[in-house]
Amino acid sequence: MALLGRVLVLLALGCAAFAITSALLSRRPGRRVWQRSAERAVYMTAVMMSGAMAVMIWALLTDDFSFANVADYSNSTLSWSYKVGGLWASEAGSLLLFAWILSMYSAFVTWLNRRRHRELMPIVVAVLMTVAAFFASLLSFATSPFNTLAQRPSQGGGLNPLLQNPYMMAHPPILYLGYVGLAIPFAFAIAALWTRRLGTEWITSIRRWTVISWVLLAVGILLGARWAYGELGWGGYWAWDPVENAALMPWLMATAFLHSIMVQERRGMLRVWNMVLVITAYSLSLFGTFLTRSGIISSIHAFGASTLGPWFLSFILVLTVASLGLLITRIPDLRSRNSLESFVSREAVFLYNNLLLVGLTFAVFWGTVFPVITQVVKGQSITIGTGYYNQVALPIGLVLLILTGIGPMIPWRKASWRQLMRRFNAPLIGTAIAGVLILSLTDVGTSIWASATVIACVFVTICIAGEFWRGTQVRHALGGVSWPASVYELVARNRRRYGGYIVHLGIVVLIVGLTGSQAFATEHDIALRRGQTASVRGYQFTNLGYINTSTPNVQESGVVLAESQGGSRIGTMNPTIGFYPASQQRLTEVALDSNAFRDVYVVLVGVDSSGLARFSVFINPLVIWVWIGGLIMLIGGGVAVWPTPRAQRQVESAAVPEAVRTT
């Protein structure tokens, strides 16, 4: 079977190479038929990659330990889902997943556009298949998931216990879907540059893809954070780890791009800037892949020993330099049709938003690569701590948050002082009242940053609510329908705008969670014998006894803790330590009691021979809102990309030309 897997990857490489050649050939006069052939080659690349994936998953599910990858990252005691997870636990397996996702995306994009964008599609196909060919080459010649062992072991090494977590089953594939998805806007951007079709055509084609990739990246990042929170046992979920940063950077650039394309669509400005953002976002997504696979950084997520670094670095350099070179040659064609008329206008706010996002990305990039640079220059790696990132991210994030509220309220082109006063009166008065109440009734005032952030969140929420209210009023006046129906129609008729506002609301909710859990979290160490009770910030924990459970995969020893507040029992917690025989590793399993106001997070540090159990107890306020914020962002993203029904589009577009003709 391993041989079949290898052959399928090689065939995928052949199909991708053929697709590149025939797509480029189809651009010559009279050779249009080659485009059909190129499209079929793209579909075949996806078929071959799917076949290779099927072989790999089959080997994992059937415990075929003759595959080195299965022997190293799985064993027969794992559940089927964790066996499949062995695919992305390994370097070669995760590259196979990456290549498969890319091939499927490419096939889907090719199929969707088979009768559209005749000029752009050959180049789009060539770019996507170049990336696919790169990954297929790595899988064929550098690191194959289909390597076999001379002697088949009777049992495998098993999956790293840290990865045996439901969130880790979803986090890597979803993150990869986001990373790889950015290849599509990149391919269309290159096609637009190449063919000099630099109007809004390419932007319209990739807007939806960019939102989808952006949402998937956001969800992937949050799933990773949720995994770290539940699995690593240090009470937090984000530590500015290089691999976390690697996912954050393309997300920040994609955020900037999603805002700046609106300026290009509406005002014909920032055309070069948008190209730079697309190219950088994709280069950074490849850079993220490079970081995890090169072995140049140490991270909980990274694949330690790898020889792929030079391959990736070369590919990223070639791709970035070639793309920027092409962009430079097209700069005369990309001149803006308009200029910034006022620094107080929506396009100006989007520009500030972009500058801040790019600045933040650069700061994160610098912090991430600094250890590598110092290693090269000084021969000693100097790691940058979380203090640096927080110092940079907090002020920038706060201003970005405020701009999230201001942007949609300011008109395009320019705003007069009177207009601004009229627009912002209610939000500012509402924010002032809410601010006074929050500062006087809660502990938020003890932290300046937290106070500023929470007040900014209130401001943005009022602005968003105001947008919905004004829109609903207009829709109600126009449509003669009920208020709830007006809200529905408002969103349904302008999904992109109001989906965006829902995303903004999700970000506000997420930031409330971040602020609460970062600024007001506490940690306490307690030690309890059976029957003893300890108090932590108003919560009482009683050691009710010890439990031991065993499965072939893991032997768990834990403590049953009664959790009480004000004398009333509110729950039972079971922090444990698991021993995984296959990998001979120990791992703590966090006990978590979560509600809307706080998380009680208990880690069993150990139990000594006298029966004294030691715990770390964290009280983390508002953490749940980080995950709820992510969910709201997902919903908002879904609303924004949901296609408008064809019938509605036809009715609307038929009605307006008449109106246009009559003017």
Partner 1 sequence: MTLLIVLVSVLVFVTAASVIAWPVLRGDSVSEPEESAAGQERKRVEDDLQRTLESIKEIEFDHASGHLSDEDFSTLDADERAKAIELLRERDAIVDPSTDPAATDS
| Residues found near partner 1 in the complex (CB under 8 A) | 1, 3-4, 7-8, 11, 15, 18, 22, 32-34, 36-37, 40-41, 43-44, 47-48, 51, 114-116, 118-119, 199-201, 204, 265-266, 409-414, 416, 419, 422-423, 467, 470-471, 473-474, 478, 494, 497, 649, 652-653, 656-657, 659-661, 663
The residue (of 448 and 654) whose beta carbon lies closer to partner 1 is 654
Q: How far is the CB of 36 from partner 1 (least distance, A)?
A: 4
The residue (of 265 and 556) whose beta carbon lies closer to partner 1 is 265
The residue (of 33 and 300) whose beta carbon lies closer to partner 1 is 33
Q: How far is the CB of 402 from partner 1 (least distance, A)?
A: 18
Helix (H, G, I), strand (E, B) or coil at 603: strand
CB contact set of 499 (below 8 Å; sequence gap of 6+): 491, 636, 637, 638, 639, 640, 641, 642
Q: Are 163 and 582 in contact (CB under 8 A)?
A: no
Four-residue CA torsion sign, 423, 429, 430, 432: positive
The tokens describing 467, both together, are 């947008």
Q: How far is the CB of 162 from partner 1 (least distance, A)?
A: 36
**517: closest CA among 419, 447, 576, 455?**
447
The residue (of 196 and 470) whose beta carbon lies closer to partner 1 is 470
The tokens describing 355, both together, are 């500058």
* CA distance linking residue 184 with residue 192, whole number of Å: 12
* CA distance linking residue 635 with residue 597, whole number of Å: 23
The residue (of 206 and 319) whose beta carbon lies closer to partner 1 is 206
* CA distance linking residue 451 with residue 422, whole number of Å: 26
The edge-to-edge listing of strands for the beta sheet with 591-594 is: 522-528, 613-621, 598-607, 591-594
For 105, 202, 375, 407, 528, the CA distances from 26, given in Å and listed in that order, are: 21, 20, 48, 44, 75
The residue (of 219 and 464) whose beta carbon lies closer to partner 1 is 464
The tokens describing 322, both together, are 């070639």
Q: How far is the CB of 198 from partner 1 (least distance, A)?
A: 13
The tokens describing 565, both together, are 């507040």
The residue (of 40 and 614) whose beta carbon lies closer to partner 1 is 40
* CA distance linking residue 507 with residue 500, whole number of Å: 11
**250: closest CA among 289, 206, 222?**
289
Q: How far is the CB of 58 from partner 1 (least distance, A)?
A: 13
* CA distance linking residue 277 with residue 18, whole number of Å: 30
The residue (of 63 and 467) whose beta carbon lies closer to partner 1 is 467
The residue (of 17 and 222) whose beta carbon lies closer to partner 1 is 17
CB contact set of 382 (below 8 Å; sequence gap of 6+): 370, 371, 374
* CA distance linking residue 618 with residue 598, whole number of Å: 10
The tokens describing 367, both together, are 């912090």
The residue (of 18 and 282) whose beta carbon lies closer to partner 1 is 18
